[in-house]
Amino acid sequence: MTAVQRTRSRRSETLRASRAHRPLHLAEGTWRSRVRHRPDPGGGSAPGRSEESTPRVLLVDDERSIRTICRVNLEGDGLAVTEATDGSEALEAVRRERPSLVLLDVMMPGIDGWGVAEELAADDDTREIPVVFLSARAANEDRAHAQELGAVGYVVKPFDPIELAGIVRDVLERVARGEREQLNRELSEHE
């Protein structure tokens, strides 16, 4: 067996082992079978659902490819998505849209994610909007800084885009149950 074949074999074994721990409905079938909600294309609400009941996520990232993959997966799970390409645009969108949650990249031109989070936290009208950072910066210092800014989540790039909507929904549910401070504390408990 060659080195390449051994590497491929180990990867296959690792993949099979990781799938063994997934619930059956996630381990089997196509990606479509894993999507819980199938809204109208473009993130519209399903018949009988009001726009107010659909959580709106503000997705802030300067990379179009990241925004696209996130939008597809969030909308595929029934969430409404608004996009912003930089910090200034994000602050305008927050004040205009009043999103349920902000997914915020750290490294952006102009006002970076840290600056956006600081401004949101300093404003009485926006400080209660949950912020989840979406960043390639994985150092403990970055998580600690996010925690200081009041963030309730930190997703490190690269990430599994299929899991993103579940993370967002979990954060929204926990914030609604009054677990915001617990979510913030958990930022320093991860790797």
Tens digits of residue pLDDT in 40-95: 444 444 444 444 578 999 999 999 999 999 999 999 999 999 999 999 999 999 99
pTM of the model: 0.71
In this model, does residue 164 exceed pLDDT 80?
yes
Q: Sorting pLDDT into bands at 50, 70 and 90, what band is 158?
A: confident
Which among 134, 131, 32 has a CA at the least distance from the CA of 77?
Answer: 32
Q: Give the pLDDT mean for 159-169.
A: 91
What percentage of the chain reaches a pLDDT higher than 70? 72
Q: Give the pLDDT mean for 118-124.
A: 94
pLDDT for residue 74: 95
The rounded mean pLDDT for the chain is 80
pLDDT for residue 10: 54
In this model, does residue 26 exceed pLDDT 90?
no
Q: Give the pLDDT mean for 96-102.
A: 95
